Chain A
């Protein structure tokens, strides 16, 4: 298939996944605030840190008020990673590959974008945030479901899943990193009900609360880290995401596990192999922040290698590649 088409499908999935993640962290933050005692201080800055757009935010808004952060992350056209911008980019990518994806996928993304664009028109005031963000999440899931059920699981689809899984791994890593950082000063809450609320909100940010409960029961920080980073079955756990991403790469080239035929396979395979044999003790020995930092560097590198292997067009024409924003 055309490199340009593969790249568009990859970004279409990535941006839809990104929109879903942003809706989720906004929603879980609203919930957390309602459960915390007044005076605890509303934490909105970490959300912007999670998307990695602090510099742009401070230039555009300055103060991290709820109103500013919600507007910046939801509707701001100047923020390439706002929900609205993500959906617009996803839709523009979809538009350029309409002959590859199913009509159902296109119509869902198109209708979805128009819905959020209409909502942005009313001054961006969200009367019922939970309802609104759940609707966004469900629309993203609907897109993913339609993609899985209406499009052939061939190479085009594998490029989509590769993008989705790399994006999701990156977002889970950021959520854990940022949340953990906020939780550090709150040692005084250990043993209080708020401890559970705060740690629970990490899980909720990754929609992992119920699945975690089933597996571990009690809220224990080490186990939460183990679950979100190293679980191989939970769909948002980094380990699981990389298993699926690596599988997509092998399906694209038709290579059996244990061999590699391109740099992307080699790089991602090595990263996955490391995760296969990592324990939560290893992570703690290095320090969670340091571990995630290095993991994120490798995830970014993986995206670059994928780009170089499949999308960067041989010969001249380097000036015409799409202006895509990587987080």
Chain B
């Protein structure tokens, strides 16, 4: 009974309530995992890791000449979300992506929201991810951001908060699919008993979405996933998605623009491409328009895009809406464009560019998480509560030097999930990244990627900082009848 000495330590635990009773929907999983002896659990954990290694779901350790490769650590205890709770998250995500798309379209056209003073114009127009080259562009259906991976966290109050909208090239969905495949193999009985909502049709939905963007309707659209190449850390995902969708995986050097049409170089000559699912930042896609030193891009791509000869998913320019400072205004966007209150909460955010906020941040560095606006992946950030006074002082100097570059948020008490550590379960902090596809309708993967900070007490879930992942199960919850057996 590996849960015997389990403690929630006053954190919100996704599996157990304060009295250590399984939460609704978690009963079946708790029962099944309790039945298995430690040796068996460890054996299955090991088998799961071996399967991931053999499938080559690995990342390279940089600077290691022996070519060492590691798997993204995987924990076998699933994170459970009851269906009734999920429905609300799903609605909230749909609402949010609608508003964000209206915002992007507005920013690259009339900029009404700036003229009406809802968001300071200077904040948007000076943002690093604002692309003036995109002004006046009209992506199909007016939708700019087709594929989103929103980062959510659950706080001590049990509520979900949006931490970040990733509107450029969010990665990780392949781990959702692979983790699920491994869990179905490793724990078929627990899986069966829990009645888990499937995620397996994601590639099919993604393909449908991409095909629907094709500018030429008279022929079967040629879709391709565009990768920076095999040395990119998300390369596995690019190739996996291409394989699962049955489409080409291309690199910049496979493409050429001829007469404002994007072509790929094949063994039988140049062939037109209709839709590119680009997994490369918009800075790099076309050296004629954006960064001229890009070796990964295709000269002339934006000409073809403007001429309406090729569709790009996501459209260039979407990054303006996931800027860490502009994020603070998403609730206002939802009210402005949709006339609604935000269903999902934002995390309270202090913009150091505002004098009042700056003073508050400097006075409370030990309680706040400070982030650099242009960074991601857990870099350029200070978790005040875990930092030494010297580190805080050094960071304070950086903030004072360039306050525009920093935002701060309260240290969230992230929820935890039991995780197999050595020979027992311990709570570890998690976040959640559901994936949203926005085409003719909006689809949200049931669940998403649960990232877990494997270091004890750590709040940083990024894989580059010692994070791992778990499978996420959205389950049909049923209340436990008095004295009855769990469903």
Contact = CB atoms under 8 A, between A and B. Distances in A.
B254 A107 contact: no
Interface string A281-318: 00000000000000000000000000000110111010
B249 A110 contact: no
B229 to A, nearest CB: 8
B264 A2 contact: yes
Given A88-B67, A95-B230, A99-B242, A2 B53 contact: no
Contacts of A2: 248, 250, 254, 264-267
Nearest to A117: B67
B120 to A, nearest CB: 44
Contact of A320 (B54, B67, B253, B256): B253
A87 to B, nearest CB: 11
Interface string B236-264: 00011011001111110110100000001
A4 B265 contact: yes
Interface in A116-147: 117
A6 B265 CA distance: 11
A103 B181 CA distance: 14
A3 B56 CA distance: 24
A6 B254 CA distance: 12
Interface string B55-92: 11000000000010000000000000000000000000
A317 B253 contact: yes
A6 B269 CA distance: 13
A107 B57 CA distance: 10
A186 interface: no
Contacts of B266: 1-3
A63 to B, nearest CB: 26
A128 to B, nearest CB: 25
Interface residues of A, number: 30
B235 A95 contact: yes
Given A2-B248, A4-B265, A110-B56, A95 B253 contact: no
B265 A92 contact: no
Contact of B265 (A98, A103, A106, A313): A313
A198 to B, nearest CB: 40
A110 B54 contact: yes
A107 B54 CA distance: 6
A1 B240 contact: no
B239 A6 contact: no
Contacts of A255: none
A155 interface: yes
B243 A310 contact: no
Contact of A99 (B67, B239, B267): B239
B239 A98 contact: yes
A111 interface: yes
B235 A252 contact: no
Contacts of B240: 98-99
A266 to B, nearest CB: 17
Interface in B20-63: 53-56
A2 B266 CA distance: 4
A306 B462 CA distance: 45
A315 B256 contact: yes
A166 B212 CA distance: 43
A252 B239 CA distance: 24
10 contacts: A1-B266, A2-B248, A2-B250, A2-B266, A4-B253, A96-B229, A96-B230, A106-B55, A107-B55, A317-B253
Interface of B: 53-56, 67, 229-230, 235, 239-240, 242-243, 246-251, 253-254, 256, 264-267, 269-270
| 9 shortest interchain CB distances as A-B pairs | A99-B243, A99-B242, A98-B239, A110-B56, A310-B267, A320-B253, A6-B267, A99-B249, A96-B230
